[in-house]
Amino acid sequence: MTTTEWVLMSTLFVIYVVCVFTVCVMTFRKGHTVLGVLGIFMPFLWLIGAIMAPKPGSPYDLQQRGLAT
Protein backbone atom coordinates (compact mmCIF):
# COMPACT_ATOMS: atom_id res chain seq x y z
CA MET A 1 0.00 0.00 0.00
CA THR A 2 1.49 3.30 -1.05
CA THR A 3 1.55 6.44 1.04
CA THR A 4 -0.98 8.12 -1.24
CA GLU A 5 -3.43 5.25 -0.85
CA TRP A 6 -2.98 5.25 2.92
CA VAL A 7 -3.60 9.01 3.17
CA LEU A 8 -6.65 8.80 0.90
CA MET A 9 -8.17 5.88 2.82
CA SER A 10 -7.53 7.57 6.17
CA THR A 11 -9.08 10.83 4.98
CA LEU A 12 -12.15 9.11 3.59
CA PHE A 13 -12.56 7.09 6.80
CA VAL A 14 -12.44 10.25 8.92
CA ILE A 15 -15.00 11.95 6.67
CA TYR A 16 -17.25 8.87 6.91
CA VAL A 17 -17.06 8.79 10.72
CA VAL A 18 -17.83 12.51 11.01
CA CYS A 19 -20.80 12.21 8.66
CA VAL A 20 -22.18 9.15 10.42
CA PHE A 21 -22.07 10.77 13.84
CA THR A 22 -23.58 14.07 12.70
CA VAL A 23 -26.46 12.19 11.06
CA CYS A 24 -26.80 10.09 14.23
CA VAL A 25 -27.14 13.18 16.41
CA MET A 26 -29.70 14.68 14.04
CA THR A 27 -31.75 11.46 14.13
CA PHE A 28 -31.88 11.50 17.94
CA ARG A 29 -32.64 15.25 18.06
CA LYS A 30 -35.58 14.75 15.71
CA GLY A 31 -37.01 12.25 18.19
CA HIS A 32 -36.47 9.04 16.21
CA THR A 33 -34.98 7.02 19.05
CA VAL A 34 -35.66 3.57 17.59
CA LEU A 35 -33.98 4.48 14.30
CA GLY A 36 -31.09 5.97 16.25
CA VAL A 37 -30.51 2.79 18.23
CA LEU A 38 -30.96 0.49 15.23
CA GLY A 39 -28.64 2.76 13.25
CA ILE A 40 -25.75 1.58 15.42
CA PHE A 41 -25.99 -1.73 13.58
CA MET A 42 -27.27 -0.42 10.22
CA PRO A 43 -26.05 3.17 9.69
CA PHE A 44 -28.35 3.83 6.73
CA LEU A 45 -31.22 4.00 9.26
CA TRP A 46 -29.57 7.13 10.70
CA LEU A 47 -29.83 8.72 7.28
CA ILE A 48 -33.51 7.83 7.06
CA GLY A 49 -34.15 9.25 10.54
CA ALA A 50 -32.32 12.47 9.68
CA ILE A 51 -34.38 12.96 6.52
CA MET A 52 -37.76 12.27 8.15
CA ALA A 53 -39.82 15.08 9.64
CA PRO A 54 -39.24 15.68 13.35
CA LYS A 55 -41.67 14.30 15.90
CA PRO A 56 -43.78 16.95 17.61
CA GLY A 57 -42.14 18.11 20.83
CA SER A 58 -38.66 16.88 19.89
CA PRO A 59 -35.73 19.22 20.56
CA TYR A 60 -35.29 19.81 16.81
CA ASP A 61 -39.00 20.64 16.39
CA LEU A 62 -38.96 23.06 19.29
CA GLN A 63 -35.85 24.78 17.95
CA GLN A 64 -37.37 25.15 14.48
CA ARG A 65 -40.53 26.69 15.96
CA GLY A 66 -38.49 29.04 18.13
CA LEU A 67 -39.68 27.59 21.41
CA ALA A 68 -36.35 26.14 22.59
CA THR A 69 -34.61 27.85 25.46
Determine what percent of the chain is predicted with pLDDT higher than 70.
97
With a CB cutoff of 8 Å and minimum separation 6, the contacts of 58 are 29, 30, 31
Residue 34: pLDDT band with limits 50, 70, 90: very high
**Residue 24 — pLDDT band, cuts 50, 70, 90?**
very high
49 closest CA partner among 40, 62, 7, 11: 40
Say whether 44 sits in a helix, a strand or coil. helix
